[in-house]
Amino acid sequence: MPGSYPFPVDPVLTGLAIAYQNRKCIADEVLPRVPVGKSEFKWWKYDFAESITIPDTRVGRRSKPNEVEFSATEQTSSTDDYGLDDPIPQKDIDNAPPNFSPVKRAVEGITDLIVLDREARVASQVFNLNAFPAGQRTTLSGASQFSDYTNSDPITVIMQALDIPIMRPNILVFGQGAWTVLRMHPKVVSSVNKNNSNAGVVSREELADKLEVDEILVGMALVNNARKGQAPSIVKAWGKDMAALYRNRLATNTSGVTFGFTAQHGDRVAGQWEDKDIGLKGGVRVRAGEEVKEVICAPDCGYLFKNSVA
């Protein structure tokens, strides 16, 4: 809506910010976005015991049926604003090569960093031991890690873990390092290929079919942990952990059960305006951002393997 933002929103740049996606990021697949009408929103936390406690359903010929009640605890959260500015000197715009727009490039670069920041946030939350119940998290070490091809048995361990959460997980989330090791595990290769061969690799689709889950997601994003001006310190955003989660794409903040979701207020926005304090000739200040909040609403619907590989 016009006038909804304290800076001029450019529809062309906004369209660019909405469309731009980093293909190496999986945050939107792990914690799907759910639109909310206001920055402050409510979500419901259900009592799972109510749905699995069987009451007396018998009804006498003239008696009244027993009554049940389904409750939920209302939780309140609010979206956070994430955005960046890129001040562009007019001199850069005047001297840009043909068919190159410093402003559009700024929107792409800003959006990429915002997406990467979200990726790191989601990875940190999903692979956080404290986000899972005590009986639904395991820290592997030594011979139990999937990188120990002699002693570990990933298929058995994962299958057993899938049966523990209240809702059986339907997606597996890996960091690239963990997935690379697991897909070459001799016992995994032999189990998927149904033979005694212990060499080769398996695909995500093959292992997903074997474990009876809908999808295997692999986080590939890289993050530089060093501060500006220091030598780069490149790390994998998703590390070497693995999580099994129940994802319900039809769930919203008030209906349905899912491990987690991302509340999103409005679309990404982008705009530009004149800034006379940039360089000798002034310039253009470009801004892009979004309003989101990641929520782990049903931790009982997941299982975490910390340090799944060495």
Specify the 3-state DSSP secondary structure of 103.
Answer: helix
Averaged pLDDT for residues 86-110: 88
In a domain, 35, yes or no: yes
Give exposure, 202-239, as e/b (b: 16+ Cβ within 10 Å): beeebbbebbebeebbbbbbebeeeeeeeeeeeebbbb
pTM of the model: 0.86
In a domain, 246, yes or no: yes
**What's the confidence (pLDDT) of residue 205?**
97
**What's the confidence (pLDDT) of residue 228?**
81
User: Per-residue DSSP letters for 248-305?
Assistant: -TT--SSSS--SEEEEE-S--EEEEEEETTSTTT-EEEEEEEEEEEEEE--GGGEEEE
In a domain, 4, yes or no: no
- CATH, residue 156: 3.90.1690.10
In a domain, 229, yes or no: yes
Give the structural domain span for 250.
Answer: 11-46+76-306
Residue 73 — pLDDT band, cuts 50, 70, 90? confident
Q: pLDDT digits over 113-139, tens only?
A: 999 999 999 999 999 999 999 999 999
* pLDDT at position 6 over 50: no
In a domain, 250, yes or no: yes
Residue 17 — pLDDT band, cuts 50, 70, 90? low
Token reading at 33: 């976005």
Tally of domains within the chain: 1
Q: pLDDT digits over 144-186, tens only?
A: 999 999 999 999 999 999 999 999 999 999 999 999 999 999 9
In a domain, 177, yes or no: yes
> How far is the CA of 246 from the CAs of 241, 288, 300, in angstroms?
17, 32, 9
Residue 11 — pLDDT band, cuts 50, 70, 90? confident
**What's the confidence (pLDDT) of residue 213?**
98
* pLDDT at position 232 over 70: yes
**What's the confidence (pLDDT) of residue 20?**
55
In a domain, 6, yes or no: no
Rounded Cα distance between 297 and 253, Å, is 9
Q: pLDDT digits over 248-282, tens only?
A: 999 988 888 899 999 999 999 999 999 999 999 99
* pLDDT at position 90 over 60: yes
Q: Residue 24: name the closest of 262, 237, 206 by CA.
A: 237
In a domain, 61, yes or no: no
